[in-house]
């Protein structure tokens, strides 16, 4: 990946930060993008040669400004996401809109920022981080599940549109990954989750990062429109 620039959204912690580390380790120049400036500075300081940009995926203006600052991007990892959980019967429209705007619309607008340069150079890698629940569903997360399922549809459509320009578009669907977000879950819920994972362990951010690194590589050049499940067998 030498001479390639990779931009990772939601890169200040968790899966995004692990992806940034993995891509940098493979030789890419990495741009970390997220909302939290302090976390970005800390994460970037731990990755030699990396830079960072502030981005709010719910704001088209912020997305445009961030990519203008980042410059030409060869590898885009759409990882940033938010949750606003609640049963559909009582879900507020604002909570629906916020999740769709960040997780799905924001990812689409980020992709639009990189397509022209990728098409011009006839090379590009777009990797969308979806979720196991996009395929399996999950009660209390209708907005999040819809946004992540939307990413899969977006991935497959774009893969067909961009294939003639040697741009691959793939998705990764993580299962239960041990991050700051999942650390706050009740112990009994974690035990129940673990009982449904054939490999009998939770995933690590590095498990997702390894898949991202592969899909961004030259070796994955004949893979496009694919959804790679990285879930320990929790959903097949």
Give the mean model confidence (pLDDT) for residues 46-54: 97
User: 178 lies in a domain?
Assistant: yes
Average pLDDT over residues 85-93: 97
How much of the chain is helix, strand and coil, in % rounded to 5?
A: 50, 15, 30
pLDDT in tens, 146-201: 999 999 999 999 999 999 999 999 999 999 999 877 787 888 988 999 999 999 99
Residue 106 included in any domain: yes
Q: Is 233 within a domain? A: no
pTM of the model: 0.97
Q: Please report whether residue 191 resides in a domain.
A: yes
Q: Which of 144, 151, 175, 232 is catalytic?
A: 144
Rounded CA-CA distance 94/84 in Å is 9
Residue 177 is assigned to a structural domain of this protein: yes
Question: Does the residue 120 lie in any domain?
Answer: yes
144 among known catalytic residues: yes
The answer as to whether 236 is a domain residue is no
- Domain residues for the domain of 162 are 5-228
CATH of the domain at 156: 3.40.50.720
Which candidate, 46, 117, 45, places its Cα nearest to that of 75?
117
What are 109's two structure tokens?
């607008």
> Quick one: 28 exposed, middle or buried, by C-beta within 10 A (0-12, 13-18, 19+)?
buried
Q: How many domains does the chain have?
A: 1
Q: Can you tell me whether residue 46 is helix, strand or coil? A: coil
Domain presence at residue 26: yes
């Amino acid at each position: 990946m030498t001479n390639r620039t990779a931009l990772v959204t939601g890169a200040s912690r968790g899966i995004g930060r692990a992806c940034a580390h993995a891509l940098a380790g493979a030789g890419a120049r990495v741009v970390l993008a997220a909302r939290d400036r302090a976390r970005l500075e800390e994460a970037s300081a731990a990755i030699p040669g990396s830079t960072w940009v502030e981005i709010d995926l719910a704001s088209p203006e912020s997305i445009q400004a961030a990519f203008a600052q980042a410059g030409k991007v060869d590898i885009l990892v759409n990882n940033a996401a938010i949750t606003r959980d609640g049963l559909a019967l009582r879900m507020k429209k604002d909570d629906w809109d916020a999740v769709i705007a960040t997780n799905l619309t924001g990812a689409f607008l980020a992709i639009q920022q990189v397509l022209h340069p990728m098409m011009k150079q006839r090379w590009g890698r777009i990797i969308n981080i979806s979720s196991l629940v996009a395929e399996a569903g999950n009660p209390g997360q209708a907005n999040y599940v819809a946004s992540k399922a939307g990413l899969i549809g977006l991935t497959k459509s774009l893969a067909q549109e961009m294939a003639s320009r040697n741009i691959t578009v793939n998705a990764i669907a993580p299962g239960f990954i041990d991050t700051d977000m999942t650390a706050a879950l009740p112990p009994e819920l974690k035990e129940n989750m673990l009982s449904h994972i054939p490999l009998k362990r939770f995933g690590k951010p590095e498990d997702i990062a390894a898949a991202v690194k592969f899909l961004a590589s030259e070796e994955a050049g004949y893979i496009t429109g694919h959804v790679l499940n990285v879930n320990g067998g929790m959903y097949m």
